[in-house]
Amino acid sequence: MRERWFGATGRRVPEIAVEGELDVEGALVLDDVSDELGLHVAHEHGTPVVIRARTAEEVRAALARPEVSTVVVPPDRRELLDLDLRELTYGA
């Protein structure tokens, strides 16, 4: 399981987790990565950024952003935990 830093908390978290199974208290939780200013400001302040995703493309787009600490997926989309992000990003 690949991990990322949870903002400036000193904590590492899985890069993809099921929503509700990871403590995201104190994080900026967004539905997508369209708020570039919000992502930047949170990152500058050490605030963890959590993105909700429902598709493989949404997961890929979120994890392409260095400001994002983790992506959470709905419990009914657990298969997204097993994405091959290298293949999704760079192809086979």
**Sequence-ordered alpha helix ranges (H) in the chain:** 36-44, 56-63, 85-90
R_g of the chain, CA atoms, integer Å = 12
Measured CA to CA, the distance from residue 89 to residue 92 in angstroms comes to 9
Let me know if 10 is exposed, middle or buried by CB neighbors in 10 A (0-12, 13-18, 19+). exposed
* Total number of domains constituting the chain: 1
Helices (runs of H) and strands (runs of E) counted in the chain: 3, 6
What pLDDT does 68 receive?
97
Task: Give residue 13's pLDDT.
Answer: 97
Give residue 17's pLDDT. 97
pLDDT < 50: residue spans in the chain: none
Q: Quick one: pLDDT at residue 92?
A: 59
**Would you say how long the chain is, in residues?**
92
What's residue 88's pLDDT?
73
Domain boundaries, position 78? 3-90
Which pLDDT score, from 0 to 100, does residue 37 have? 95
Whole-model pTM: value is 0.91
* Token pair 């929503």: residue: 19
CA–CA separation, 22 and 6 (whole Å): 11
